[in-house]
Amino acid sequence: MSTSIPLRTLGKSDLHVTPIGLGCWQFSKRNNLAGKFWPKLDDKVIRDIVQSSLDLGVNWFDTAEVYGSGASELALSDALQKAGKKPGDVIVATKWWPMFRFASNIPRSIDARLRALNPFPIDLYQVHQPFGFSSATEEMKQMAELAKEKKIRYIGVSNFSEQKMREAAEELQNHELSLVSNQVRYSLLDRKIEENGVLKAAKELGVTIIAYSPLAQGILSGKFHDNPDLLKGVGWRKSSGPFRAENMKKSLPLINLLKELGTKYKVSAAQIALNWLLYAHGNTVVAIPGATKLSHAQENAGAMKFQLNEEEIHSLSELADKYEK
Ligand SMILES: NC(=O)c1ccc[n+]([C@@H]2O[C@H](COP(=O)([O-])OP(=O)(O)OC[C@H]3O[C@@H](n4cnc5c(N)ncnc54)[C@H](OP(=O)(O)O)[C@@H]3O)[C@@H](O)[C@H]2O)c1
């Protein structure tokens, strides 16, 4: 692994991650409803994406049970093994899916997660959504038990509000554990966490924000603005805010600034958008862009090799403020 990229510590843990990790939802193989969001990627493409991410210094990977009912976890494990990685060489995060389930499912389903990722351990286990049948407190009790049994190393949540995050952190404290991360949607085109208390609470509690959809699912690369024909192939993304025609128009000035800064740093608009996430809030935020092509993974990993200055970060934030969905 490249040693030149300064690592960031996830919450109060000894997990030291590169500012960019690889999001692995795209490895779902269209295996279930959530998996149908992305095209089916060949094993070869998945292996190349993982290998080149590793080559460019990325040291961690985010997957989930719901990404193809384990297909993404299996594909990730396969690609890491093919890349010659052994348990402990990389950091693996996965997630428990709470829909229509009680917290008691957490210990019942953990062995299936470990089997899918075998031989890699679960470094970070996250509750994927806040909408399970049980409270955050009950879920954290079960997660704490898994940590005690050493089936997982650290505990995180995803899509949790400020209040739920605090509830989870408080329960873990009762077990002398800490909440390490909250994985939420965060990009220049979706800055809700700056307003709804999540980012502020994360800073206060020492919880890392893991930014998902950091490129607004491709929009911040500027490719859809440059070539609207590409919108024909985006499937379900078309119905989401940033992809609507009126919002594409509103985000154009921001895309233009991303490109302008890209010219200065000899990088792409996507790399500028990711770099903004990494440096707008000190070390609090890390990002997990997903990739459907090798070139995406290469480009996205390259976003941690330079640093925007404060003035540039401010200009991007200001212009993004004008974008209303
Ligand atoms: N916790 C949660 O609830 C949750 C929700 C969503 C995602 N996630 C996680 O976050 C990860 C990333 O989020 P995401 O996939 O929703 O959004 P994203 O990372 O913003 O966008 C990924 C998509 O954008 C396009 N893309 C990526 N890099 C590009 C580049 N450099 N240039 C041009 N296009 C590029 C690719 O799609 P095309 O080639 O098809 O355009 C790719 O599949 C996921 O893999 C998953 O691990 C978590």
What pLDDT sits at residue 123? 98
Determine if ligand 1 sits within 6 Å of the CB of residue 267: no
- Residue 141 CA, ligand 1 centroid: distance in Å: 31
CATH number at residue 48: 3.20.20.100
CA 269 to ligand 1 centroid distance, Å: 15
Domain residues for 292?
8-215+275-308
What is the number of alpha carbons within 13 Å of residue 143 lying toward its C-beta?
35
What is the radius of gyration, based on Cα positions, of the chain? Answer: 19
Taking the centre of ligand 1 as the mean of its atom positions, its distance from the CA of residue 213, in whole angstroms, is: 5
pLDDT per position as a tens digit, 162-216:
999 999 999 999 999 999 999 999 999 999 999 999 999 999 999 999 999 999 9
**Which protein residue's CA is at the shortest distance from atom 21 of ligand 1?**
217
Please report whether residue 227 resides in a domain: no
Q: Is 206 inside a domain boundary?
A: yes
Which of 124, 268, 247, 231 is closest to 190 using CA atoms?
A: 247
Pocket of ligand 1 contains residue 292 by CB under 6 Å = yes
**308 within 8 A of 261, measured Cβ to Cβ:** yes
- pLDDT at 324 (0 to 100): 66
Domain annotation covers residue 234 = no
Instruction: For ligand 1, atom 24, name the residue with the nearest CA.
Output: 218
What the block records as the tokens of 52 is 């080149």
pTM of the model: 0.98
The answer to whether 35 and 235 are in contact (CB under 8 A) is no
Residue 261 domain flag: no
The per-residue pLDDT for range 14-39, each reduced to its tens digit, is 999 999 999 999 999 999 999 999 99
Number of domains making up the chain: 1
Residue ranges for the chain with pLDDT beneath 70 = 1-3, 324-325
In a domain, 289, yes or no: yes
Q: CB count, 10 Å around CB of 173?
A: 13
Query: Does residue 290 have its Cβ closer than 6 Å to ligand 1?
Result: yes
**How buried is 189 (Cβ within 10 angstroms: 0-12 exposed, 13-18 middle, 19+ buried)?**
buried
Is 267 part of any domain?
A: no
Decide: 94 in ligand 1 pocket, CB within 6 A: no
Q: Is 186 a catalytic residue?
A: no
Q: What is the pLDDT of residue 1?
A: 43
Residue 151 maps to a domain: yes
Both tokens of 283, joined, read 């070390």
Q: Has residue 152 been placed in a domain?
A: yes
Within 8 A by CB and 6+ apart from 135, the residues are 103, 167
